[in-house]
A and B are shown apart, each in its own frame.
Chain A
Amino acid sequence: MSTATNSHSGVNLQVRGLRKSFNGQEVLKGLDFEVKPGEIFVIMGPSGSGKSVLLRHLIGLEPPDAGEILINGESIQSPEIASKYRLAMVFQSGALLNSLTVGENVGLYLDEHRLKPPEEIARIVAEKLADVGLKGTEEKMPNELSGGMKKRAAIARALVIEPQLILYDEPTSELDPLSSVVIGEEILRLQQRIHVTSLVVSHDRDLAFGVADRIAVINEGRILTIGTPDEVKHFNDPLVQKFLNADFKHEP
């Protein structure tokens, strides 16, 4: 995650035979998929299907029990990966540091790694916040922001890294439909502007079918199908169809 590489194009991500158990319970049961450079890949599935655990593996926060995760052919567990590729993650809660202002949060990566002088960091922070519609919020504390604003601030923090791979964990959870649309547009705009590889974990069907190049549906640690939004929509599997078509029916 340093500026060692100047490439602005997205990276290739491969997951091969990924398995993970917690306390004897297998959460990921041998996942295989590939995300192409610059692609928006959405992983959908019901709560508890292993989506967030998968994401933690993809950013290197969890070691797998078996299998491998490759970024441009190199293992995510390799110590050089952080200095070679710029990876970022937008957490479900935003995970802004509550003791820092929004501006300090967004500029944290540049400041901690001494990549730019303070004036330059301030300029970049203002620019990235404006990019996500949060102009002038530098001095606010995270607890002064709404849920949607926190997520957009987290996206701005990820943008500062100029990522080649960006992972989103439930980016629209706890958001109203309008804020969800803003986040979705943000994901699309980012992909078009810097051709970042994006991997979105979500159970929001509107978001998934609105932004995805390809979608994978996961259930109980297994991938049920992978394909374009159209292919997934017409995939003939009862579980997939049940998940995609589940709706609340009120009978008076």
Chain B
Amino acid sequence: MSKDTLMLKMRKSLWGWAGLVIFLVGVLALSVYPVNAQQPTPSDDDVNRVAKQMYCPVCENIPLDVCPTQACAQWRELIRLKLSEGLTDEEIRQYFAEQYGDRVLDVPPARGLNWLVYVLPPLFLLGGIWIVVRVLRSMRSPLAAMNVSTRGDETLPNPNEDPYLARIEEELRRREKEGK
């Protein structure tokens, strides 16, 4: 074996030892310092932020971020991929809607017939308010309204409907007048 070959072998061996030492120090360092979550990029929280607003069409009404099936796990990975490609949350939602239909979105997009989802309940409430106002107007007796007393005991139940309570309230009023 020539001297050069020997030196080369020794140098390789030294590098090998050095590498081993660095590895061991690294392992020791990792075991001494606390190991926190290995967050891929984008993180699971980023993925769940988008997935929370989506549903898998296969699973029954379970949001994508918590669905335990393999299919949903794959969708979440696809979201991660899209996020890493720089798509915004809304662009990703639209991507899935185009691929799999509006059903994957947590609320129907406000277009076409879907407007009914957003318009009808407020209209119903307005209709209810209109009916209530009409009923109140038709039932309200002007004479009775004029006779409304402003006595301090107006907050109490009508004594005629509950004699027992009326006795309690009467007692209370008397005590208050007496300053007790």
A and B, one complex?
A: no
A residues near B (Cβ < 8 Å) are none
